[in-house]
Amino acid sequence: MKILVINCGSSSAKFQLFDIDTGDVLAKGNAERIGIDGKLTYKPAGKDEFVSTEPMPDHKVAVRMILDALVDPEHGVISDVSEIAAVGHRVLHGGKYYSESVIVNDDVKKVIRECFPLGPLHNPANLIGIEACEDVLPEGTPQVAVFDTAFHQTMPPKAYTYALPYELSEKYDIRRYGFHGTSHRYVSHRVADFLGKKYEDLRIITCHLGNGSSFAAVKDGKCQDTSMGLTPLAGICMGTRTGDIDPAIVPFLMKNERFTPDEMDTLLNKQSGVQGVSGVSSDFRDLEKAANEGNDRARLALDMFAYQGKKIIGSYAAAMGGVDVIVFTAGIGENTDHMRKAMCEGLEFMGVEFDDSVNAGLRGKEAIISKPSSKVTVCVIPTNEELAIAQETERLVR
Ligand code: AMP
């Protein structure tokens, strides 16, 4: 069965075509600069990359160009679009409505639209992508929405409620939603398989450390807590996002620097985090290099990231009454041995015996990086959100 996975942004559409029976990626690419000029990068497996700069005035044209590339006699990987059994769409926000992926119908589209205020940058683009596929693909091709928030919908009210006036939280649906759910779901299931253990029996802390970073506590087969909140700004400090700060800093800066709400939003999301602290970069490779060359603020940013991550791990262990497995994933979690080590250092009191002889130099591979005697098993599990979306899509349409 062939499944197309699409991740639409406001001016882009990333895609991968999977043969789900083998897990192979048949082709992947990115349609960028939609509505500006247009650039389609397309890479069929085993063949050369192909770039087209034909104009892409809207997402419908972009989807049509993607499909044309997939069936192209020269670069194509299928002979007809009818071979695409279903399309899986990454959708940022399913609000309080969806705790699972769903086959798209009019009600689902209504909910995605209702959640525009909660995901103003992503949800409109996600819906445009769904509608573009409906217009361009043969009638009846199922579309599946896989929500970034869905996995976290099992959190209990004490974990997701903010201490605001209750009526206001209800009026605006203000609560912790959490994000990266597809990744947390994938790596938590995958680590149970990898260790040959039953998912429901494990207390797992998943650490998705990338440009955006979040943690999840999984117990009894359900997400119990997560570090991102109403928006992906909360939790640990990130590439350019503050993470949790004293909320009083916001009105303080707005008053003293005369920032508008939009300027404040930009500062919190795009000018802060390890980039803001270091003044060097949001990229952890640049930060490590600068810190090793003696840049104190780069070192401080890395220390803050490790310290905040360690505190979240400790708090989730407390929340679950212990932890059996800690999993590192995403760009930093999979590739940065120093950060994994720094986050686990000092956790011996709760049963972590880290094994740096395995950890050092390990990149992008499934592995156990704790000692065999460790009460807590620490693992690296590379995430694969696109494959997870394809698998969810297949499960629903089969
Ligand atoms: P992601 O958002 O998951 O793509 O992760 C991006 C982050 O991962 C950036 O801060 C990168 O510095 C970091 N990263 C990605 N690849 C590597 C690598 N090979 N070594 C160190 N850090 C990496």
Domains of the chain: 2-147 (3.30.420.40), 197-385 (3.30.420.40)
Considering 21, 148, 225, 286, which one is annotated as catalytic? 148
Largest CA distance in the chain: 62
Closest C-alpha residue for ligand 1 atom 20:
335
Neighbours of 73 (CB within 10 A): 6
Closest ligand 1 atom to 284 CA: 12
Q: In the annotation, is 262 catalytic? A: no
Closest ligand 1 atom to 333 CA: 8
Q: List all residues whose CB is within 6 A of at least one atom of ligand 1.
A: 210-211, 239, 283-285, 330-332, 335-336
Tokens at residue 171, please?
């009026």
Cα 213 to averaged position of ligand 1 atoms, centre (Å): 11
86 φ/ψ sector (left φ>0, alpha ψ -120 to 50, else beta):
beta
- Tokens 């002979």, located at residue: 79
Closest C-alpha residue for ligand 1 atom 19:
335
Cα 312 to averaged position of ligand 1 atoms, centre (Å): 20
Nearest partner of 101 among 130, 143, 144, 155, judged by Cα? 144
Cα 77 to averaged position of ligand 1 atoms, centre (Å): 30
Cα 104 to averaged position of ligand 1 atoms, centre (Å): 33
Closest ligand 1 atom to 383 CA: 3
Contact 33, 11 (CB under 8 A): yes
pLDDT tens for the chain, 398 residues long, are 999 999 998 888 999 999 999 999 999 999 999 999 999 999 999 999 999 999 999 999 999 999 999 999 999 999 999 999 999 999 999 999 999 999 999 999 999 999 998 888 889 999 999 999 999 899 999 999 999 999 999 999 999 999 999 999 999 999 999 999 999 999 999 999 999 999 999 999 999 999 999 999 999 999 999 999 999 999 999 999 999 999 999 999 999 999 999 999 999 999 999 999 999 999 999 999 999 999 999 999 999 999 999 999 999 999 999 999 999 999 999 999 999 999 999 999 999 999 999 999 999 999 999 999 999 999 999 999 999 999 999 999 98
Cα 217 to averaged position of ligand 1 atoms, centre (Å): 23
- The CA–CA distances, whole Å, from 45 to 18, 29, 39, 100 equal 11, 11, 20, 31
Distance CA 359, CA 368 (A): 8
3-state secondary structure of 136: helix
For the stretch 331-336, contacts whose Cβ atoms lie closer than 8 Å and that sit 24 or more positions apart, written own/partner, are 331/209, 331/210, 331/211, 331/284, 332/209, 332/210, 332/213, 332/284, 333/207, 333/208, 333/209, 333/210, 333/380, 334/363, 334/364, 334/380, 334/382, 334/383, 335/363, 335/364, 336/209, 336/284, 336/288
Closest ligand 1 atom to 212 CA: 2
Closest C-alpha residue for ligand 1 atom 4:
331
Read off the pTM: 0.93
Cα 68 to averaged position of ligand 1 atoms, centre (Å): 32
How many residues belong to the chain? Answer: 398
- What is the secondary structure of 158-205 as a DSSP string? HHH--SS-HHHHHHHT-S---S-HHHHHHHHHHHHHHHT--GGG--EE
Angle at 169 between CA 164 and CA 173, to 5 degrees: 150
Distance CA 132, CA 128 (A): 6
* Choice from 207, 274, 284 to test ligand 1 binding pocket (greatest atom count within 8 A of CB): 284
